[in-house]
Structure 1
Amino acid sequence: MASSAVLAASVLIILCLLHNFRCLARNIAAAKASGIPYVIIPVNVFSIFWLVSFSLWLPILHRLPTSWTSPWLQFMHPEWAYLLGHRPFEEIGSDIFLTVSPGRLQLWVADADVINQITTRRNDFPKPLKLYKRLDLYGKNVVSTEGSTWRQHRKVTAPSFSEKNNELVFTESLHHAQALLKLWTGDSGDESRTVRDPAADTMRFALYVISRAGFGVRVLWSHEEHEQEATRQDEVLMGTKPPPGHKLSYREALNSLLENIIWTQVFPKWFLAYSPFKNHKHLYVAINEWGKYMEELYEAKKLEIQSDQKSEGMDLFGALIKGAGMVPEADRDKGQSTQKQTLSDSDIFGNAFVFMLAGHETTANALHFSLVLLALNWNTQRRLQEDIDKTLHGKSISEWDYDEDFPKLFAGMGAAVMNETLRLIPAVTAIPKTTLKDRPQPITLQGRRVVVPGDCHVSLDSTAVHRHPRYWPCVPTGQGQNITNDLDQFKPERWLLDASDANSVSNADRPVSFDDEDLRGPSGLDTSSSLFKPIKGSYIPFSDGYRSCLGRRFSQVEILAVLAVIFREYSVELAIDPFSSDEQIDSMPKGGAERQKIWQKTADRANYLLRESLSSIITLQMRGNQIPLRLVKRGNERFIFQ
């Protein structure tokens, strides 16, 4: 029996090896025929097997002779696109190339014109829907669909994100930014506390803004619970205690769901209920609880619309219900009520969930990384503060006006900081597309025609194209104004070039034709016309073309509002707790070598974590580590070195 089992296992292994060899040979043949440079790698780095076990294999592979592993080993880390930037493209000598494994043909793109071709040919390069299947936790949505179904979802959801709705986003961002400051600096605003996990706090900030601006739910911070009352009749307040009929509070259900969303991508929902692990069971409860909250909000919104009540702001649920035809509309010709339902209830819940998920992570990440990068770059932070002072003229926050003040913030240093953060650390490093099986697609690369094979995964490498010397200006340094390649560095000043310099390398104003204006996407520009305008396809933190992010302007409004609130009064510093105490720092001369040595240790650790501790589940985030920060009143900074 034992020998039979060994024989069967041996046969199975041989068959698997033969199958992999045949698949690899087929993929190599397709790569050769494409005319695109390619690199052969031994395994698909995005397979479940490799994602789970790569940390075991990579140390072993790195011990092998370089002649055995070059050039493929650098592509074996799942986050190589973020870790290496544009360098692999330079080494290969092409701005597009294929990685070829037995399990996958993968095209990597860092050419702006090719990116533009792909994003404007949505039928030729659709999204790989298998990657988004688990986002259908509550129903189909605008992210997880393609073709005519996607067109329905897009037309119904896009009106929620029009420019006229962003005033409420601005107002809510100001409110929650002040609550966040109070959390970090105490009731008096003068307490210099170490913020040990700023990423978690910025995530809460973004969640609370979209809950209110998108769904009419004001989620209270812990220190607000005894201070706040509903300011409008239709406003819903959610605190730490579950309301009747619920096991979890709104905040707890949402936080648990989003913090553990990875498990919904690995296991089906039913498995979580029977899993032996406590966090899986809690996640199952959270999924059901937030679904119940959505159903309650949904029913209340339908009644509100039917009674012709006017809602404030974005009103995402209201827009979905109206656009989906869930509420009867009068037939003017016949004088009758008709109801043409284009999206089901589950579709509406699915879109609500995906906007809640995607609508907070990008903003939260950008805010978190902006604060860390500013703490590492004092001169840039000081320039930001000066620009905010000049823009807002010392007005109290209650006097800030969206129509008057946001355009100025969007054209100034705050926008430069935001854009530069998203250039260096985009939420998605490899925007996924695909070609259909047996449908290869021709593209033009630098005037040469090549063919993307059918059934090929396509990654628009945002990190690489964001660091491509062809598309981005460098900042002059030193008295001699020497220019070196600084595209791996945080330099928001590159966005503040003279208009004549920016226009000399830009075609951002080149018109793009769409066959359906309803699908164009959110209004407004990726960047202000007053700042550097990247060549189309070279700056894609919100993707581009038909599938560009609907919530782009929503996110921009949030980020600029909270940066303005924080830096009008405060500076942000790296917390030096791991290396020294406040008493020790206070005993050191200001600006002296001792303080600088402590700060440099802290900065080295922060830079290391920014390089090595970021990974993607849905978006690129720091996982398993934190970079503690501290806010201090302007003028009381402890680490200023000229």
Structure 2
Amino acid sequence: MALFFSAAVAVLLLLCGYTLYSAICLLQNYLAARKIGVPVRIIPVDHINPVWVLVSQQVVSVLKRLPFGLGDNNITKYNYLGFELAIRWKSHEEMGDAFILCSPGRNWLYLGNPDIITTMLKRNTDFPHDSELTAMLDVFGPNIATAQGADWKKMRKLIASCFGDSNLEPVWQESIAQASDMGRYWSSQPSVDTVAHDTRTLSLNVMSRAGFGKVYPFKGHHEPQLKLGGTSLSYKEALQTILENSIVIMVLGTKFLAKPWLPRSLQRLHYACASFQGYMTELYEAEKKNSLEGKRSDRNLMTSLVRASQQETKESLNENEIYGNMFAFNFAGHDTTAHNFVWIIYFLAGNPQVQDWIHDEIEHVLGGRPREEWNYKTDYPRLKRCLAVVFESLRLYQPVGLAKWTGEHSATLQVGDKTLVIPPKTMVSPSHASAHTDPKYWGPDSLTWRPSRWIEPGPPSSAPGDLDGEEVVTPVRGTFIAWSDGVRDCPGKKFSQVESVATIAALFREWRVDPVTNPGETLEAARERVLRFIEEDTGMVLLVQLLHPERCPLAWKKR
């Protein structure tokens, strides 16, 4: 009894100590925030606090039910991951172009004005990436996502050369092949509730081919999966295991995962990391040898990165930097693209007229040619409506946001007629969900999914229905930052666009999709239900995503 009492007292003292420490930190941060001169909203816990992330949704859900208007408070408005989707532009409408969320952990300055966002993103020296948040990505070595200064410039130069058209051709070809096989699988099923699983498979297979030259056939989630004999992991199995457990790996690190006393699941994760490292080393050594001997090899990101590095003398990447960047490519490009595919497919299921609209373009551009004859250089630039579908989905639901900070020094930023002095270690975040949907820039239907807003008809002199005369609209800079902006925009931007457009073209050339109707439900009512489902079911785990797409099955039919 005495032992239990002592333990309870110790726990209570720890909680009291932590509460007091948090209160002191919150007061210090609040005083610093007040000096900046913009509206401040206080939240009791930093919304990226790992423990809070685990329980925040449940706590916020309970608090929202409080009576007498008590459920409408800063915690329920701002104190959870993904709160931006719920408020969109409304907080900036209330508080102006900038406001601060003040927590015990950090102060977060949110920017809603496109011009201010653009200016901030251009000033990479004053507003760098937060090295404390991105350091975990160094799990396989330094990379472009974590590098700063001269190291970043070196990496950016070499990596930019690896995302040219010669390396995007395999992305185009593999996306078409994978999407065609996925469409055949889906249309063979009476209903499909595995869209999220299957689009992740497609994305992984495209990345395997374009990144490492490894080709794998598409297998639907309910199809028998090819298993290798023994306990060894194939390249794809190793990469898939790593991507599905990337947060665990980044938090614990590969060295810790090597401990022999860990549970079997974590030991298998370490084995996947070691296997993946082994495959990368094998490819690296082979390509280095080919480069030195002047031999040609398959064009993919890995070989291009090795060759580009070999050609530079003073600014080459070392072996660990190549491995680190290949992991960063896979981590950044896999789930983000797969999640956007899910939104695209569900939005199209609820909008049959948009399916017909893009099908007209696909038929116009590709005609009756077999998929083997689809040409990246000539066909991809003409599939503008397909690209508009990609843009519109990302406009409403961007899988990952942006977070900069001021680093170890203060920075100034012009907001309206004020020059803000922003203290060191202040987070600075573009309010993308606001900029992407503000009616001032996107019109009164800014929350409506309407891909045609991205297409400008041809000039008056063009023939009626001349699809080749259409152009993709360039939005006001700073109102669409799905791939960031400025000098540190996403190097894989074109990669994801090509993959997405090729997938859409391959799927919707041959098939159309509808929601499966419930008993007594009309097809039109089912489509309306799908659109409501997208809005209600979208939330944030690690990324913003549809949380339970399996609850809304779809039916695919041949055109």
Post-superposition shift, 1:122?
0.5
1:537 lines up with 2:493 in the alignment: no
Tell me the residue number matched to 1:301: 287
CA separation in 2, counterparts of 1:258 and 1:248? Answer: 14
Q: Alignment partner of 1:614: what SS?
A: strand
Larger deviation: 270-279 or 29-38? 270-279
* 1:632 maps to amino acid: K
2:180 to 174, 178, 181: 178
Give 5+ residue unaligned stretches, structure 1.
186-190, 224-238, 330-338, 474-484, 501-527, 581-593, 635-642
* 1:387 maps to amino acid: E
Post-superposition shift, 1:472?
1.5
Tell me the residue number matched to 1:620: 544
Write out per-residue CA displacement over residues 227-280 of structure 1, whole angstroms, 9 at most, x where no aligned residue. xxxxxxxxxxxx945489x71122222222212223224433344455765543
Tell me the residue number matched to 1:513: none
Quick check: 1:574–1:603 contact (8 Å CA) kept in 2? no
CA separation in 2, counterparts of 1:275 and 1:553? Answer: 44
Tell me the residue number matched to 2:463: none
Quick check: 1:469–1:487 contact (8 Å CA) kept in 2? yes
CA separation in 2, counterparts of 1:253 and 1:282? Answer: 10
Q: Residues 148-159 of structure 1: matches in 2 within 5 Å?
A: 148-159=150-161
Tell me the residue number matched to 1:476: none
Quick check: 2:183–2:511 contact (8 Å CA) kept in 1? no
Q: Alignment partner of 1:567: what SS?
A: helix
Larger deviation: 339-348 or 541-550? 339-348
Q: Alignment partner of 1:33: what SS?
A: helix
Alignment size in residue pairs: 542
CA separation in 2, counterparts of 1:362 and 1:258? Answer: 12
1:261 lines up with 2:249 in the alignment: no
CA separation in 1, counterparts of 2:167 and 2:193? Answer: 34
* 2:28 maps to amino acid: R
Quick check: 1:240–1:249 contact (8 Å CA) kept in 2? no
1:122 to 121, 124, 135: 124
Give 5+ residue unaligned stretches, structure 2.
460-468
Question: Structure 1 residues 221 and 192 mapped into 2: Cα distance closer, same or farther (>3 Å)?
Answer: closer
CA separation in 1, counterparts of 2:545 and 2:203? Answer: 15
Post-superposition shift, 1:423?
0.5
2:317 to 335, 338, 343: 343
Question: Structure 1 residues 5 and 575 mapped into 2: Cα distance closer, same or farther (>3 Å)?
Answer: closer
Tell me the residue number matched to 2:337: 363
Post-superposition shift, 1:375?
0.3
Post-superposition shift, 1:120?
0.7
Q: Residues 213-292 of structure 1: matches in 2 within 5 Å?
A: 213-222=210-219, 240-242=226-228, 247-273=232-258, 277-292=263-278
Question: Structure 1 residues 575 and 307 mapped into 2: Cα distance closer, same or farther (>3 Å)?
Answer: farther
CA separation in 2, counterparts of 1:153 and 1:421? Answer: 30
1:380 to 351, 354, 358: 354
Q: Alignment partner of 2:439: what SS?
A: coil
1:205 lines up with 2:205 in the alignment: no
Question: Structure 1 residues 48 and 393 mapped into 2: Cα distance closer, same or farther (>3 Å)?
Answer: same
Write out per-residue CA displacement over residues 567-603 of structure 1, whole angstroms, 9 at most, x where no aligned residue. 1121111234xx34xxxxxxxxxxxxx551x663575
CA separation in 1, counterparts of 2:199 and 2:7? Answer: 55
Tell me the residue number matched to 2:111: 109
> Which is helix-richer, 1 or 2?
2
CA separation in 2, counterparts of 1:324 and 1:560? Answer: 30
Post-superposition shift, 1:85?
1.7
Tell me the residue number matched to 1:490: 449
Post-superposition shift, 1:221?
2.9
CA separation in 1, counterparts of 2:140 and 2:35? Answer: 42
Tell me the residue number matched to 2:80: 77
TM-score by length of 2: 0.89
Tell me the residue number matched to 1:394: 368
Tell me the residue number matched to 1:461: 431
Post-superposition shift, 1:222?
4.4
* 1:396 maps to amino acid: P
1:86 lines up with 2:89 in the alignment: yes
Tell me the residue number matched to 1:163: 165
TM-score by length of 1: 0.78
CA separation in 1, counterparts of 2:278 and 2:470? Answer: 44
CA separation in 1, counterparts of 2:531 and 2:274? Answer: 38
Tell me the residue number matched to 1:427: 399
CA separation in 2, counterparts of 1:324 and 1:423? Answer: 36
Q: Alignment partner of 2:143: what SS?
A: coil
Q: Alignment partner of 2:441: what SS?
A: coil
Q: Alignment partner of 1:31: what SS?
A: helix
CA separation in 1, counterparts of 2:320 and 2:327? Answer: 10
Post-superposition shift, 1:340?
4.9
2:512 to 571, 591, 595: 571
Quick check: 2:191–2:516 contact (8 Å CA) kept in 1? yes
Q: Alignment partner of 1:133: what SS?
A: helix
* 1:547 maps to amino acid: R
CA separation in 1, counterparts of 2:547 and 2:290? Answer: 42
* 2:283 maps to amino acid: L
2:21 to 19, 22, 30: 19
- Identity of aligned pairs, percent? 30
Question: Structure 1 residues 20 and 595 mapped into 2: Cα distance closer, same or farther (>3 Å)?
Answer: closer
Quick check: 2:411–2:422 contact (8 Å CA) kept in 1? yes
Post-superposition shift, 1:160?
0.3
Question: Structure 1 residues 10 and 555 mapped into 2: Cα distance closer, same or farther (>3 Å)?
Answer: closer
Q: Alignment partner of 1:568: what SS?
A: helix
* 2:455 maps to amino acid: L
Quick check: 1:241–1:248 contact (8 Å CA) kept in 2? no
1:611 to 536, 545, 549: 536
Tell me the residue number matched to 2:49: 47
